[in-house]
Amino acid sequence: MKQHIALISLLVADYDEAIHFYTKKLHFNLVEDIILSETKRWVVIAPNGPGSCSLLLAKASNEMQLSLIGNQTGGRVFLFLYTDNLDRDYGNLLQNEVKIIREPSNEPYGKVLVFADLYGNQWDMIEPKESGK
């Protein structure tokens, strides 16, 4: 049996503002943007890199969903974005005025920082240590 997680649903307030943030500030790719109805779209974004899990941007459609935008995990880090160069990507976050929650640090597993997306969801950005180092 072969399985993998293909998509993670991320609640957003507005499709276009979320697409702009992820594609312009984080340099993700817009994979799909299909209109399903007057109020619903199928919007998939993904980071640059092989084997990445994609995000399905899901516009909140009721009060409960609206209340959870930016806090889908109860205040914990929600998503983990691996990078091959944390220093480069940290500079990009600063240049694009992305909120840094925790400055870069060296951890046993690699370099890491925590940033918030446009809604406040917390992300770990990790440059993993190479094996054997």
- What CATH number does residue 77 fall under? 3.10.180.10
Q: Total domain count for the chain?
A: 1
- 133 occurs within a structural domain: no
Q: 91 lies in which domain range?
A: 7-128
Contact, 76 vs 120, CB < 8 A? Answer: no
- 46 occurs within a structural domain: yes
Q: Which residues make beta-bridge pairs with 110?
A: 107, 128
pTM over 0.75: yes
Contact, 8 vs 53, CB < 8 A? Answer: yes
- 50 occurs within a structural domain: yes
- 1 occurs within a structural domain: no
pLDDT attached to residue 131: 54
- 102 occurs within a structural domain: yes
Q: What is the pLDDT along the chain (133 residues), one digit of tens a residue?
A: 888 889 999 999 999 999 999 999 999 999 999 999 999 999 999 999 887 799 999 999 999 999 999 999 999 999 999 999 999 999 999 999 999 999 999 999 999 999 999 999 999 999 999 854 4
pLDDT attached to residue 133: 45
Beta strands in the chain (DSSP E): 7-12, 29-35, 41-46, 54-59, 77-82, 100-107, 110-116, 122-128
- 2 occurs within a structural domain: no
pLDDT attached to residue 78: 94
